Amino acid sequence: MTKVWYRLTAIVLATGALSAHGIAAEVNVYTTREPGLFAPLAADFTARTGIKVNTVFVKDGLAERVAAEGAGSPADLLMTVDIGNLVELVDKGVTRPVTSPALAAAVPAHLRAADGAWYALSLRARLVWADKSLGLTSVSYDDLADPKWKGKVCIRSGQHPYNVALVAAMIAHVGEAKTEEWLTGLKANLAKKPGGGDRDVARDILGGLCQIGVGNSYYVGLMRSGKGGAEQKTWGEEVAVVLPTFTGGGTHVNASGAALAKHAPNAAEAEKLLEYLLSPEGQKIYAEQNFEYPVRADAAVDPIIAALGKLTPDTLPLAEIAKHRKAASLLVDKVGFDR
């Protein structure tokens, strides 16, 4: 049985418990996002609409929890990260589609479910970090398997959702056979056994353990802003960051997103919150709080992230990438990537 750990069941803006029946002008959100990110969004939404936001922060097992609560669940809006988790909500049968002209206008088609079952809210790009002395200014994901990098690449576990999604996207682009060749080549280039986090990659490049590595864009913002402390600020500032692309495609992005709960007692308010999160005001807070790329093309990117260069996201539908996640995970094991 899946172990579910509810890190915090905190009502951020309410004084009472969640109601299974709902109360006018309130909305109940279950989210895996950090309180530091979501609290400002909830506060601004309430200030603009008068709708109270009750928030349950869940670290793991979001889909299982809502499924277990069944028709009596008070959940209205479900928010999580990674396309795999968004699709899991749908597969568990705990969502219902929602569509509106505002949502369709805000989110490009490749970043939402075709039937409105989920919507991307923000994007994280999978980037290459490099030793500045290399003078690396451009690179493709294919290049990571080039023998010239033998013994020089650092990356976290191949089974981490960030990398599973990257491998799944590669499968979607070139097929399983060529992806296996690429993954085998990448493994041969590793400087050490995959592990740790993305920020450890920057640390290891600075320490001379490797020359290039793979990390998510928002970590660059978290490091360079100093939010992670002085040491991480140095890591972030002393590595070069390059936006790689697929051959014939753009830069791989994954998403945070949201879905309307199947039994939402406050569905109308949840739809308003979803539209707010995708409004220019909501997208601005996303960019400022967590250095994520906005989904809206007309929303501003945080200056630290904008300085990395213009992002050209891969337009491969996230739903298509999600279809290849299982194959990607199996391929990671097949080539012994983490061994």
Q: Does 219 show up as a binding residue in the annotation?
A: yes
User: Looking at the chain, how many residues does it have?
Assistant: 339
In angstroms, the CA 292 to CA 283 distance is 9
> Which contacts of 331-334 are long-range, i.e. CB under 8 A and separated by 24 or more positions?
331/167, 331/171, 331/176, 331/179, 331/180, 331/183, 332/158, 332/159, 332/163, 332/164, 332/167, 332/183, 333/159, 334/180
Cα 76-290-248 angle, rounded to 5 deg: 95
Give, in order, the Cα–Cα distances in Å from 143 to each of 93, 171, 206, 280, 332. 40, 16, 21, 36, 18
**Cα–Cα distance for residue pair 12/9, rounded to 1 Å:** 9
Closest CA to 152 of 110, 212, 201: 212
Kind and range of the H or E run holding 284: helix 280-290
Q: Are 130 and 212 in contact (CB under 8 A)?
A: yes
> In angstroms, what CA-CA distances link 50 with 20, 44, 167?
20, 10, 43
Instruction: Count Cβ atoms below 10 Å from residue 68 Cβ, excluding itself.
Output: 12
Task: Check the annotation: does 218 bind a ligand.
Answer: yes
Tell me how far apart the alpha carbons of residues 285 and 291 are, in angstroms, rounded to a whole number: 9
Tokens 């988790």, residue located: 85
Q: Which residues are annotated as a binding site?
A: 218-219
Q: Which residues are annotated as a binding site for Fe cation?
A: 218-219
